[in-house]
Amino acid sequence: MAEGRNLQELSQYTGYHFSNPDLLKIALVHTSYANENKKGEKLETYQRIEFLGDAVLQLIISDYLYARFPEADEGELTKFRQHLVCEETLARLARKLHLGDFLFLGKGEEANNGRRHSPILSDVFEAVLAAIYLDNGKKLDFLTDFLLTLMKEEIEMCGKNRGGDYKTRLQQLIQQDGKEQLHYEVTAEYGPDHRKTYEVDAMLNSNPIGHGVGPSVAKAEQEAAREALILFGVGV
């Protein structure tokens, strides 16, 4: 079984110090770790607490979008929320917080690069939100500020890009020059067949200009294009 880093170190990324560290550990225990536990004790995994974290996340984001975009109808607000709480977005946020480094994983999941898998990271991100929510007396003030700060780029994208096609925007930008060649290269793929994770580089001629991670090559390419647009100083 593989354990992550000292959980106290996580506060340097979240800005939150737990009164009850056991809540944080629950949010970081994968089922593979619990199943391989040889001490005989029953370990609670993040699956149940993630259920609560999903609801807390949906509430905070829905409330914010409702106030931020008074001109948007229900359909548009729903699209915004879908983008902000989708697996790829949450996994990207989890990577910002280095949550993968703190996971408690079984040997099999460790061997399958579980610390980098988007499905696991997105679930753990929601579980950590729930742990903070419970530890902080079910108050939303800290979590709201924390989330909106962490998701600043994604929220701004809702207003500027409306969840658009990053690859198309990048291609249009590159074509303005007429001499540069844009293509995408898969640099890594890992995980079992039913939930693979792909890493892709956006290449300008022979130079990488963006890196993306996703559950499919297409989604990883979109993330790579998004990073490239940011590199070029284009609002996303």
Among 50, 54, 199, 227, the active-site one is: 54
| Residue 72 exposure: Cα atoms within 13 Å on the Cβ side | 18
Question: Could you tell me if 88 and 223 are in contact, meaning their C-beta atoms sit under 8 angstroms apart?
Answer: yes
Question: Could you tell me if 89 and 163 are in contact, meaning their C-beta atoms sit under 8 angstroms apart?
Answer: no
The type of residue at 152 is K
Closest residue by Cα to residue 162 from 78, 58, 62, 227: 78
Q: Return d(Cα 201, Cα 62) in angstroms, integer.
A: 33
Among 88, 109, 123, 126, the active-site one is: 126
Instruction: Tell the burial category of 161 from Cβ atoms under 10 Å away from its Cβ (0-12, 13-18, 19+).
Output: middle
Active site residue 44: no
* Token reading at 46: 């993040």
Question: Could you tell me if 202 and 212 are in contact, meaning their C-beta atoms sit under 8 angstroms apart?
Answer: yes
Active site residue 76: no
* Residues designated catalytic: 54, 126
